[in-house]
């Protein structure tokens, strides 16, 4: 395993003994090339319904046990629930959308261009790593609500506006 340039590493183990040995091995191998594992930045998370009373150590320092953490830009939770991650992604996408407000309100830019920019900048921010989410009806509703809200603002429609259709008769 070549870890010369790694600063984000996940170690998976079936039990605490295996995890402890892996953490020790990683720490020893890192020290051989002048790197060190930072106990302050390292976390332990038990997945599913498993818990353990045994602490994991790097050297003399015990590692913090957490219920969730951010790894490579995505929030990982111990129960696999993606609700918190979706809220985080929508908050980030909302911030991006707000920074582009002058673009959305500009009358000199066509709606087609605005929609292409929205699709290429805002949408990817909202759904980043969505292929790893445990989907639920609630998550789909949240994403759809965000999407519709953005589209209404881009198209300058109020929530209360209704599109009329011709009655056939």
Is pTM beyond 0.85? Reply is no
Sequence ranges of the domains in the chain: 16-68, 82-165
Confidence at residue 86, expressed as pLDDT on a 0 to 100 scale: 93
126: left (phi over 0), alpha (psi -120 to 50) or beta: alpha
Per-residue pLDDT of 12-37, as tens digits, reads 888 888 889 999 999 998 889 888 88
Per-residue pLDDT of 93-121, as tens digits, reads 999 999 999 999 999 999 999 999 999 99
Lowest mean per-residue pLDDT among 71-80, 89-98, 141-150: 71-80
Is the pLDDT confidence value at 131 over 80?
Answer: yes
- The half-sphere exposure of 17 on its side-chain side, counting CA atoms within 13 A, is 0
């Amino acid at each position: 395993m070549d870890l010369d340039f790694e600063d984000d590493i996940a170690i998976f183990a079936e039990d605490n003994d295996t995890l402890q040995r892996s953490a020790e091995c990683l720490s020893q191998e890192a020290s051989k090339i002048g790197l060190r594992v930072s106990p302050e930045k390292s976390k332990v998370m038990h997945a599913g319904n498993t818990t353990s009373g045994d602490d994991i150590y790097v050297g003399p320092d015990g590692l913090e046990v957490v219920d969730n953490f951010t790894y490579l830009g995505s929030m990982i939770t111990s129960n696999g629930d993606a609700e918190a991650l979706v809220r985080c992604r929508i908050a980030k996408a909302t911030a991006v959308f707000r920074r582009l407000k002058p673009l959305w309100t500009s009358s000199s830019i066509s709606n087609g261009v605005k929609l292409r920019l929205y699709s290429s900048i805002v949408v990817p921010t909202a759904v980043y790593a969505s292929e790893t989410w445990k989907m639920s009806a609630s998550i789909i509703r949240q994403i759809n609500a965000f999407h519709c809200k953005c589209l209404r603002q881009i198209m300058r429609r109020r929530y209360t506006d209704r599109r009329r259709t011709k009655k056939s008769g």
